[in-house]
């Protein structure tokens, strides 16, 4: 894969929970934090939505 300047594009580093952090740069580690924070927010949104759906269903079946 090549970037816009015709140079070989660097492969984005990926993070797997629990792996050694030593080989990663500070910039990569900060990127991992951002990705994890976004994933936490996505999960929290799903939890809130499921809670709302459950309340609606319980309310419907109580009648």
pLDDT, average across residues 11-25: 87
pTM: 0.63
Q: Say what the pLDDT of residue 23 is.
A: 94
pLDDT, average across residues 31-60: 91
Nearest CA to 29 among 17, 21, 40? 21
Give me the sign of the Cα torsion angle 42, 48, 51, 57: negative
Rounded distance, CA 12 to CA 31, Å? 10
Domain ranges of the chain: 24-63
Contact present, 21 and 29 (Cβ < 8 Å): yes
pLDDT, average across residues 18-23: 94
pLDDT at residue 11 is higher than 90: no
Contact present, 37 and 43 (Cβ < 8 Å): no
Residue 12 DSSP code: P
Give the pLDDT band of residue 46 (cuts 50, 70, 90).
very high
Rg over alpha carbons for the chain, rounded to the nearest Å, is 20
């Amino acid at each position: 894969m090549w970037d816009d300047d015709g140079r070989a594009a660097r492969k984005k580093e990926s993070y797997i929970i629990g792996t050694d952090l030593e080989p990663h740069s500070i910039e990569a580690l900060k990127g991992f934090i951002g990705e994890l924070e976004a994933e936490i927010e996505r999960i929290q949104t799903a939890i809130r939505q499921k809670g709302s759906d459950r309340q609606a269903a319980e309310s419907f079946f109580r009648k």
